[in-house]
Amino acid sequence: MEEYILEEQRNTPVCGEYDVFVLGGGIAGISAALAAARQNKKVLLVEKSFILGGLATSGLVTIYLPLCDGYGHQVSFGIAEELLKLSIKDWHNEKRGYPVWLGPDKKSEITETDQRYAVDFNPSLFALAAEELLLKEGVQILYGTQAVACQRQGKRIQAVIVENKSGRTAYKADTFVDASGDCDIAYQSGTATVNFSQGNVLAAWYYFLDNGENKLKQLGASDIPEEEKKLGKTAKEPLVNRRFTGLDGTELSEITILSHNAMYLNMKEKIAADAQSIPLSVPTIPQVRMSRRIDGADTITIDNAEKYKENSIGLVSNWKKRGPVYEIPFGILYNPETVNLICAGRCVSNDDYMWDIMRVIPCCAVTGEAAGTAAALTDDFPSIDIQKLQGILSSNGIKLHKDSY
């Protein structure tokens, strides 16, 4: 029999009111906060860590995957490209294809024989540059803060309740952007969500110094969806024979300990073989790729490749293979039962195969920019003037349909 503790009734102080409240300081949250602030809105960005970037920085998943289709056509623009350039502003290498794409008058000459428009980046420099950019644009950032509950009335969220060193407080807003990665606001507000059915395999990526070069060691990786397994594809050998939801506090601690153990063993092996192989950094958050998403008004699937979407808010490519391009329908960002909540990043509504496509940096930036712009336009997303939203996105360089690039 479970035991419970009855807590006293609380009077939670309201610490602020905003036009747009963004939960999650990963790539999606950064993009959403930037987009909303550039529409002259008062924006609060809440992040549970003490650095921006999420998995891209704290998780050391430092690969900015392609903005192109692999056949010489850039498909993702706007903040997605702005953040790519920001990520290499202070440090870069030429391992991936971006030097070709950023060269003068080169884009018209790129074909499938060239590397795709992607980069490796330094996580610390990227996180600090992103913070500088957000502050310059007027975004307020609240670090070390976890959303724990929502106050809801009818189909609207009135406030998000958070906890940090100050204790338990609340923030009110007209609109709320859930870029938490785990769809926390949606879940806590009672909005319909869907858990990742397959579960995550263990990952333990870390950086080490090898002959004077900073290298990323990729121990374990995200698994492949069941649809790919049916086609005969196989995943890498897992580090442990177990899967993780990423949605349980005890389990997240177990993931972290198992990851640390795998990294530590590997580090000691490297040092024994070469004393000049020096560990440099380890992730400070669990490397969970997919956990929980919104059950949206629309759902994007693998079959949506190359299909026209009248309500498209941008384009993304398939980072796994050259060719497929997807028009992103606005309906995957919200559930009509909670009219002033919109999602971005890996929280959007997709099937398991597309989840693995939509969770990566360019897609998070594309959906984040759309979500932040929409949050600046309306507090009723099912009733949004989609043409007005598309007009703003287009004016910011976003290509909405495949025939437009």
Instruction: Determine which helix (DSSP H) or strand (DSSP E) holds 387, and give its type and residue range.
Output: helix 386-395
Q: Could you give the number of structural domains in the chain?
A: 2
Q: What is the mean pLDDT of residues 298-313?
A: 94
Tell me, what amino acid is at 327? E
The band of 104, judged by pLDDT with boundaries at 50, 70 and 90, is: low
Do 142 and 217 share a domain, yes or no?
A: no
CA atoms of 127 and 182, how far apart (whole Å)? 20
- 325 vs 198, more confident: 325
**Does pLDDT of 98 surpass 80?**
no
Structure confidence at residue 103 (pLDDT): 72
- Residue 2 covered by a domain: no
Residue type present at position 373: T
The verdict on 152 and 260 lying in the same domain is no
Higher pLDDT pick, 5 / 26: 26
User: Do 54 and 150 sit in the same domain of this protein?
Assistant: yes
How does residue 91 score in pLDDT terms, banded at 50, 70 and 90?
Answer: confident
Q: What is the DSSP string of 26-52?
A: BHHHHHHHHHHHTTT--EEEE-SSSSS
Q: Which of 89-93, 296-300, 303-307, 368-372 has the lowest mean pLDDT?
A: 89-93
Question: What pLDDT shows up at residue 228?
Answer: 67
With the C-alpha atoms ordered 223, 227, 228, 231, is the resulting torsion angle positive or negative?
A: positive
Distances (CA, A) of 179 to 104, 182, 192, 229, 377: 35, 8, 16, 29, 18
Q: Whole-prediction pTM value?
A: 0.96
On whether both 38 and 174 belong to a single domain, the answer is yes
The enclosing H or E element of 294 equals strand 292-294
Q: Judge contact between 183 and 166, C-beta under 8 A.
A: no
* 237 shares a domain with 211: yes
Query: Does a structural domain hold residue 45?
Result: yes
Tell me the percentage of the chain whose pLDDT exceeds 70: 95
pLDDT at res. 1: 72
Query: For residue 375, what is the domain's CATH number?
Result: 3.50.50.60
Residue 359's nearest CA partner among 389, 391, 312, 320 is 320
- Both 164 and 304 in one domain: the answer is yes
Q: Answer with the one of 234, 260, 281 that is the final residue of a domain.
A: 281
> Which residue intervals of 232-360 are DSSP H helices?
249-273, 352-358
Apex CA 38: angle with CA 348 and CA 296, to 5°?
15
Q: For the chain, give the mean pLDDT.
A: 93
Report pLDDT for 16.
96
Backbone angles phi, psi at 146, to 5 degrees: -115, 130
pLDDT of residue 7: 79
**Confidence band (pLDDT; 50, 70, 90) for 403?**
confident
Residue 209 is predicted with a pLDDT of 92
- At which of 246, 261, 281 does a domain end? 281
Quick one: pLDDT at residue 261?
98
- Among 281, 309, 340, the domain-final residue is 281
One domain, residues 72 and 161: yes
Give the residue, 20 or 101, on which the prediction is more confident: 20
Q: So what's the pLDDT on residue 227?
A: 66
pLDDT digits (tens, 9 = 90+) for 168-177: 999 999 999 9
Can you give the pLDDT at residue 96? 80
Could you please report the per-residue DSSP string of 98-147?
HHHHHSTT-GGG--TTSPPS-EE--HHHHHHHHHHHHHHTT-EEE-S-EE
Range of the domain at 209: 203-281
Q: Please spell the DSSP secondary structure of 272-292, one letter per residue.
A: HH-TT-EEEE--SS------E
- The pLDDT score that the predictor gives to residue 333 is 98
Q: Say how far apart CA 97 and CA 82 lie, in whole Å.
A: 16
266 pLDDT band (50/70/90 cuts)?
A: very high
Average pLDDT over residues 79-96: 90
d(CA 45, CA 43) in angstroms, rounded, equals 7
| Per-residue pLDDT tens over the stretch 25-74 | 999 999 999 999 999 999 999 999 999 999 999 999 999 999 999 999 99
